[in-house]
Amino acid sequence: MLSAIGDEIIALCITFLTNSEYIKNPYLKAKLVSLMFHGIWPVYHRSKGIIGDSLTGSQFANDYLLHALMKFYIEVESTGAHTQFYDKFNIRYEIFQVIKCIWTNDIYQQRLTQESKYVSLDTCDSKTTNTAQDKYPILPAVCQPALE
């Protein structure tokens, strides 16, 4: 029964971390990461905590967790409170610990390799300018305007 509940919590966290349309508040999304972070703390005979084994063994988590964590790692930049400098470190530390827990699974290492090969067209503007091509001749032409 615990694994079913763990799988539901993981699916909930991944779904809301991935889809920014549902939850726009980065602090609320950070609580989802905190939920996973506290779920991977070692407890008694479980070295990966209550949900650590589910994070490495669940097909849904294998497909979507790393992308969701990386996406939120970038979104943390939009926090704007007076304590934002420290908040970013705390949130990113928890993300790092979750990634560190799942890194033993080779599937996540392959997912990171796949993600690094492809540039998301959502983050790049479709227009290109000569100044961007002059400044960054190595980068693909699609992403160069985003750098200006």
Are 148 and 111 in the same domain? no
What is d(CA 108, CA 106) in angstroms, rounded to the nearest whole number?
A: 5
> H helices then E strands: how many in the chain?
7, 0
Are 92 and 148 in the same domain? no
| Sign of CA pseudo-dihedral 99, 101, 106, 107 | negative
Q: What is the pLDDT of residues 12-46, one digit of tens each?
A: 999 999 888 888 888 899 999 999 999 999 888 88
To the question of pTM greater than 0.75 for the whole model, the response is no
Q: What is the pLDDT of residues 100-148, one digit of tens each?
A: 999 988 888 888 888 877 755 444 544 444 443 444 344 344 433 443 4
Are 92 and 45 in the same domain? yes
41 near 33, Cβ under 8 Å? Answer: no
Range of the domain at 134: 121-148
Are 78 and 138 in the same domain? no
The number of distinct structural domains making up the chain is 2
